[in-house]
Amino acid sequence: RKEVEQDPGPFNVPEGATVAFNCTYSNSASQSFFWYRQDCRKEPKLLMSVYSSGNEDGRFTAQLNRASQYISLLIRDSKLSDSATYLCVVRRPGFKTIFGAGTRLFVKA
């Protein structure tokens, strides 16, 4: 079992749809959590950090449930430009950062 598991993709949604991605992690000592976005053949870029209290950045909302070791990302009012791979990322105590395999999102007109 991988340390960080994500929904298998791809997700195909129309513009304006709401889409949710799920992620689970197995190391209960994990300290920090993030969502990164990666466009095709490009480098990953930080989308947002994830906090237990939940956090929102425009159309994006991230949630963390430490008890269930579960992380989510909600995208509202999807845009064509949201098409990308979304990577769930967990930092262990110390420095090691573990990336999930990613979930591909295709937003269609």
According to CB under 8 A, which residues from 55 to 84 bind other proteins?
none
Cβ–Cβ under 8 Å, residues 57 and 74: no
Cis bond upstream, residue 93 (ω within 30): no
If binding is defined by CB under 8 A, does position 50 make contact with other proteins? no
If binding is defined by CB under 8 A, does position 39 make contact with other proteins? no
List the one residue from 22, 69, 76, 91 that touches other proteins (CB under 8 A): 91
List the one residue from 12, 15, 45, 70 that touches other proteins (CB under 8 A): 45
Beta pairing, strands 84-91 & 70-75: unpaired
- The DSSP code sequence of 8-65 is ---EEEETT--EEEEEEE--TT--EEEEEEE-TTS-EEEEEEE-TT-EEETTEEEEEE
List the one residue from 11, 84, 100, 105 that touches other proteins (CB under 8 A): 100
If binding is defined by CB under 8 A, does position 27 make contact with other proteins? no
Binding site for other proteins (CB under 8 A): 4, 32, 42-46, 49, 87, 91, 94-102
